[in-house]
Structure 1
């Protein structure tokens, strides 16, 4: 009976949780009939639904459109526009252009070209694979970059597996080892004891000594052969173990590189885009702003350092022999030659770059240049050509994202040319991650509800005990908690929950919010340990050859390294880039905070 009840609950736990969570926390808004309690009640429900995925994430992300107006926290006319702001446009434009890169196969050409340059030893091939994956993740989604690089990685793994298979087939190690052991056992019975042979014939002293010598030489010879065969068996087993380790290393390398590349640029992941929107809305009217260039200066060094550390850690864990081996033997040269031939064949199969590849490549370069040169901070860039503050990074993203929908797919000067755009709108609509766009809207809605309901102020009062704690201690605490929490829920969800709370922590401790908000932005992307932590982790785990313990063992060190690197950035170059010194903090609280609060309301 008890087992049947457990089975019944196990099959319906999502439905049970869906109903119970609102009922359990219902006394909160009833007893404390204040906007803060109502906002907190809704945020708790959404958070639980997000963490346990009671209903699909995009469906949960649409709940603020219903709950906040019903509870009287935000008006419908206030919530709805938050689902398509300039931040949403920025993300949509970058997703649209990422689809253009994929549709013309430019990503694969870049990947194979770089891999053919970095060398064909396993350590440098892995480095090249990670570098390309990270670069792609800087501009397209982490999931897309892993999906792009996984076939390349599996092709490399397949080539390595074929080499190991050829070696083991050639040696027939199991059969030979068994034969060798049998021969040694036979020889052990041929020994001479007390002057008698195996047939019982008595030998004189000279004959006995001669027989002993012959038997001794034969035993030594066959034992040496047996030892060689046993050694070969051990070597082949080590080869199989090394291949298994390399497979794990190559798979984890692209998942981790995509995560690291995503945190390096403003458009690398939805979390970064969301944080820009949060900062623009929450600190409107203050000097604290985020644009493509200053985020690149902040995030790119973090990404480069983490990529190097990740490569070193994967080499030590999964490719130790080759990593510390400086001279290549004949077997290594043969292996590298086959790997290089395989990569060159794949690159040659792509043929010459096509018209649409050239078009997308040129637009890609233009997009990066426009983003970098739009605003240099104190010195304005090309945006001064237009009305002040009318142009934004989203303008560039949408412009470049629309061009592939307009530019011709083939050379218009060819005979019998017929117009067809590089990207078809019907195809683009199916490829865009609408889930992420809804998550952005939900996050901005929660942040607005925190401000409007004064829940941020209530949280700040509760966190008064943090007064007097050194800034560095608060920063490292924020980084660790954010990084661990994001292992069990989506990055944007984590950011949307944490940022309003961190704003309250900053106010209660009288430190600049940027010192907590920006490190949290990178920390919520440090999800390396679990397959469910990020879509890239799930993709490589699903490809086979990995266990959960492998990801935990490798990922826990990556998390620690990530925490340390983000902390280093938060306490060294980040404050200088964003001007978050003591003087800026005083100005923020004494002059601009009133303007910011009024604007937020």
Structure 2
């Protein structure tokens, strides 16, 4: 789902300057690295360093569309002889590519048939939650976080944004004049943005960096983290971050238990205006529940019979997560909304509207990440970083990994951040002789925690476009949430990774 971001004239000038700078700086750095001798690098690693530097500059400056930069990197790897064609392009056939496709189609169907709106209205219409503004903020946080577990944070924020504005508009007519409506509006809109990003980390399909990180962990390290295994790790982190966020908002915006009698009825009316469940909604719900069941089922089997049981191994070999996503997505093309008209829940005209850019970015990023290891470049970069930072312990490296991913995600996309940081931090950990799993997981999770600027994530840009949120307020709130996020991820990994065998 494409959402137009509104920017000021000054921001437009800066964006043009940033893009233009990248067009000149990228090739300049590429050429300089290519022609400067690096005696401690092999020929392929040397050429790959130049390519990776070019792609990273293009990603940060967005001199070219981010997916195009990823494709350019893969293309240059073939042209400059870093690796042969088949090996370079094999990343675009990675099973996670098809997991992306299937989950994106399900998410698109949810938006197309407005199932996402019905779920959000259902949560917001609970009387106990909608009886006070504090409850409304909590309900909005819960709704955005839950929906974002299954569809993109951008789509979640785009859906919740008008709902939040409508709620504040309704409140302005029914609350006392002395109430600071501006603070209420800002807190609710920021909650939409932040909860949408936080909820995305809870499942592998919640946000692209999760699958990018998991794909690199499996490709580079040979470790497969299951859908259920990821949820056991990430859901506690999402809940903890969301809980601290609610407490932070209560203190920052002085949210009181303002009585909002009748708000639940207003939201319930909006839900009723959607009408009865359409056939498309029902079919989409069937496909969605099928996917969730197939994804979670092996984890439940593992809890009962263990991962060494024959049934568990047979199930995982026949219905891995990518196949489960494709099975569920296929149902959308099979289940009819009108058999007489031969109309189905999803047709190809709608299916092609999914986010192909993220899919191409993943393929290109995975190519560069895997080549960094096969050429020895990642190990060398890891040694350089270790010599600069002096870090040697597992959890110090993990902290650096999380903070680096968060910092980079403030100025570039979360998908690009994960693609850049995950392979590098795996190399750092291996150079230090410690487990690369926690640093890789830290970078994956940290990539989704850019909260400070409108450009950090699409949800931030969406709510900022309202004109109600001062940039200084977003920066102040975002800095605190960045620090909280880094601490929660680090502490969560420190406690859960040993327990889950991820060290």
Find the counterpart in structure 2 of residue 84 from structure 1.
93
1:107 is matched with 116
**1:96 and 1:401 in contact (8 A); partners too:** yes
Match of 2:237 in 1: 302
Paired residues of 2:124 and 2:140 also in contact (CA < 8 A): yes
Aligned pair partner of 2:459 in 503, 527, 536 = 536
2:341 is the counterpart of 1:401: no
Equivalent residue for 2:194? 256
How has the CA–CA distance of structure 1 residues 280 and 390 changed in structure 2, closer, same or farther, with 3 Å as cutoff?
A: farther
SS of alignment partner, residue 174 of structure 2: helix
Contact 1:274 1:444 in 2 (8 A): yes
Match of 2:270 among 346, 350, 361: 346
Q: 2 CA distance for matches of 1:60 and 1:383? A: 40
CA distance in 1, matches of 2:406, 2:17: 31
Q: Could you tell me whether the CA contact under 8 Å between 1:271 and 1:521 is conserved in 2?
A: yes
CA deviation vs aligned residue, 1:174-223 (integer Å, no higher than 9, x gap): xxxxxxxxxxxxxxxxxxxxxxxxxxxxxxxxxxxxxxxxxxxxxxxxxx
Does residue 128 in structure 1 map to residue 139 in structure 2? yes
User: Are the equivalent residues in 1 in contact too, given 2:408–2:417 (CA < 8 A)?
Assistant: yes
Match of residue 389, structure 1, among 314, 317, 324:
317
Identify the match of residue 250 of structure 2 among 295, 310, 315. 315
Deviates more, 1:443-452 or 1:27-36: 27-36
RMSD of Structure 2 on Structure 1 (CA): 2.3
Summarize the alignment of residues 54-453 of structure 1 with structure 2, pairs less than 5 Å apart.
54-117=63-126, 118-163=129-174, 236=177, 238-239=178-179, 242-284=180-222, 288-318=223-253, 320-322=254-256, 325=257, 332=259, 335-337=260-262, 339-375=263-299, 376=302, 378-379=307-308, 384-385=313-314, 389-410=317-338, 417-430=340-353, 432-453=354-375
Cα offset for 1:469? Answer: 3.4
Report the Cα offset of residue 360 of structure 1: 1.9
| Aligned counterparts of 1:475 and 1:138: Cα–Cα separation in 2 | 24
CA distance in 1, matches of 2:143, 2:214: 26
Q: For 1:22-61, what aligned pairs fall within 5 Å after superposition? A: 22-32=27-37, 34-61=43-70
Structure whose CA Rg is larger:
1
Q: Contact 2:22–2:61 at 8 Å: present in 1 too? A: no
Partner of 1:494: 417
Distance, in Å, in 2 between the alignment partners of 1:321 and 1:569 is 28
Counterpart in the other structure of 1:223:
none
Residue 294 (structure 1) shift: 0.7
SS in 2 for 1:409: strand
Instruction: Specify whether residues 151 and 379 from structure 1 end up closer, same or farther in structure 2 by C-alpha distance, changes over 3 A only.
Output: farther
Closer/same/farther in 2, CA of residues 366 and 380 from structure 1, 3 Å limit: farther
Distance apart, 1:59 and its partner CA: 1.6
Separation in structure 2 between the aligned mates of residue 450 and residue 409 of structure 1, nearest angstrom: 48
Match among 455, 464, 470 for residue 547 of structure 1: 470
Structure 1 residues 131, 20: CA separation in 2 closer, same or farther (over 3 Å shift)?
A: closer
CA contact (8 A) 2:399 2:439 kept: no
Superposed displacement of residue 351, structure 1: 2.1
Cα 1:479–1:15 shift into 2, 3 Å: closer
Q: How is 1:498-537 mapped onto 2 (pairs within 5 angstroms)?
A: 498-537=421-460
- TM-score normalised per structure 2: 0.90
Structure 1, unaligned runs of 5 or more: 1-7, 168-235, 581-601
Cross-structure match for 2:4: none
Cα–Cα, structure 1 residues 343 and 550, in superposed 2: closer, same or farther, change >3 Å?
same
- Separation of aligned partners in 2, 1:24 and 1:579: 37
Residues 1:575 and 2:460 are matched in the alignment: no
- Unpaired runs of 5+ in structure 2? 1-12
Secondary structure of the structure 2 residue equivalent to 1:67? helix
In the TM superposition, what is the alpha-carbon distance from 1:16 to its structure 2 partner? 5.4
**TM superposition score normalised by structure 1:** 0.76
Report how many aligned residue pairs link the two structures.
479
Structure 2 contact 96–322 (Cα < 8 Å) conserved: yes
